[in-house]
Structure 1
């Protein structure tokens, strides 16, 4: 497996697992990120600007700017994860979006994982697909 594919797999697995924890515990989540350092180490990343009630859009923009500034300097890849509402086949559902950018690839891919959260707070991934930006 190529380094790019391995890094993507690690970032996606981390993002799905963290989103499940946040959904189980809080029924929602703010955008969060993870990076792969130049040395291959996974580094989780949350953003806190001092405001207890930041908008998700502001957090997403701040994280995106930070991640892009680090890419190539100290990081070789990143995943930016956020909650979205999608409509697919005329059916509306919640989904985890995971934007992945890698230093060794021109492509920026957003992977979507639709999910449901049951009464017992168990989170089930239903469907997944990717889109190249």
Structure 2
């Protein structure tokens, strides 16, 4: 499996991540409206504000990952994305673990060879 394949797998899982968070947000907003219709207006508004306030931080990291991976797959950029992968591991719930691991595995293919391994290859 090459670097591009691993990045594509990470990108696909990231799309799944965005869809699940978006569906959860929409269902929470819908439940808030149902609460307001049922008469609990204060609780409905609180639910909607809480759902939107919780969804925005959860969607920021997957959207940044999606834009970066799409750009790098298009341009064939040889950069290493260790910081982005670690942020995905911790901040891109619920599938950030899978996305971060595949980004790290893709970066293993692009990592520069250290000088110690170059000297051992020459011997």
- TM-score, structure 1 normalization: 0.27
Higher helix share: 2
- Say which one has the larger Rg: 2
